[in-house]
A = this chain, B = another copy of it.
Amino acid sequence: MNTTPTEQTIAAWARLLRVHTQWQEQVQSALKAADLPPLAWYDVLLELHRKRHGLRQYEIGERMLLPKHNLSRLLDRLEKEALVTRRTSPEDGRGNRVLITRSGRRLLQRMWPVYGRVIQECLGQRLTAAEVTTLAKLLDKLQQ
């Protein structure tokens, strides 16, 4: 079992990190320019949007790979803006169930065009469809 990466592996690693920070920067600055909240808000709202009956907090945390205390306060902010609601969970007295509100969905709709455009500019337009598929497959192997 080889424990030291090859040059190529290091190169791929470094490039992924770099691409990620570039993308991050592009997205956040586009959102800010459009006077919209940060990307994390979009992620939470999208997860909730997909689930008619909302999600438990820990489920959101798992999906977003976010530590729980962090998520707890992120939801505080979203709740303060009335984008989500927390209601105490019927099935488990400790936890609560988080639901997206109508204005949460509206925000999602306003954010998508901005976000989508960046995705297209940074990724969609730079690779062919075949390359995108290859990339997606390779990244899939790296997950989990």
Q: Which residues of A come within 8 Å of B, CB atoms? A: 1-6, 8-13, 15-23, 25, 65, 116-117, 119-120, 122-127, 129, 131-136, 138-144
Contact = CB atoms under 8 A, between A and B. Distances in A.
Q: How many copies does the complex hold?
A: 2
Given A15-B136, A138-B134, A141-B127, A65 B21 contact: yes
A118 to B, nearest CB: 9
B138 A135 contact: yes
A130 to B, nearest CB: 10
Contact of A142 (B8, B19, B138, B140): B19
A123 B19 contact: no
A134 B132 contact: no
Contact of A10 (B4, B9, B119, B144): B119
B4 A116 contact: yes
Contacts of A140: 15
A15 B143 contact: yes
